[in-house]
Amino acid sequence: MKIIRAKDYKDMSRKAANIISAQVIMKPNAVLGLATGSSPVGTYAQLIDWYNKGDIDFSEVTTINLDEYRGLPREHDQSYWYFMHKNFFDSVNVQPDRIHVPNGSNPDAAEACREYDAIIQRAGGIDLQLLGIGHDGHIGFNEPGAAFELGTHCVDLTKETIEANKRFFNNDESLVPRQAYTMGIKTIMQARKVLMVASGADKAEIIKKAFFGPVTPEVPASILQMHPDFVLVGDQAALSLV
Residues in contact with ligand F6R by CB under 6 A are 35-39, 66-67, 132-134, 138-141
Give min distance, CB of 182 to ligand F6R, in A. Answer: 7
Give min distance, CB of 54 to ligand F6R, in A. Answer: 29
Give min distance, CB of 223 to ligand F6R, in A. Answer: 14
Q: Where are the alpha helices (DSSP H) in the chain?
A: 9-26, 41-52, 80-87, 109-122, 159-165, 185-190, 204-212
* CB contact set of 161 (below 8 Å; sequence gap of 6+): 143
Which is nearer to ligand F6R, 19 or 57 (by Cβ)?
19
Which is nearer to ligand F6R, 134 or 234 (by Cβ)?
134
Active-site residues, by number, are: 67, 136, 138, 143
Closest CB to ligand F6R: residue number: 132
Q: Which amino acid is at 229?
A: D
Gap between the Cα atoms of 105 and 176, Å rounded = 15
Sheet holding 153-156, edge to edge: 67-69, 179-182, 153-156
Gap between the Cα atoms of 20 and 27, Å rounded = 10
Burial of 21 (0-12, 13-18, 19+ CB in 10 A): middle
Residues belonging to the chain:
242
Which is nearer to ligand F6R, 23 or 142 (by Cβ)?
142
Give min distance, CB of 151 to ligand F6R, in A. Answer: 16
Which is nearer to ligand F6R, 62 or 65 (by Cβ)?
65
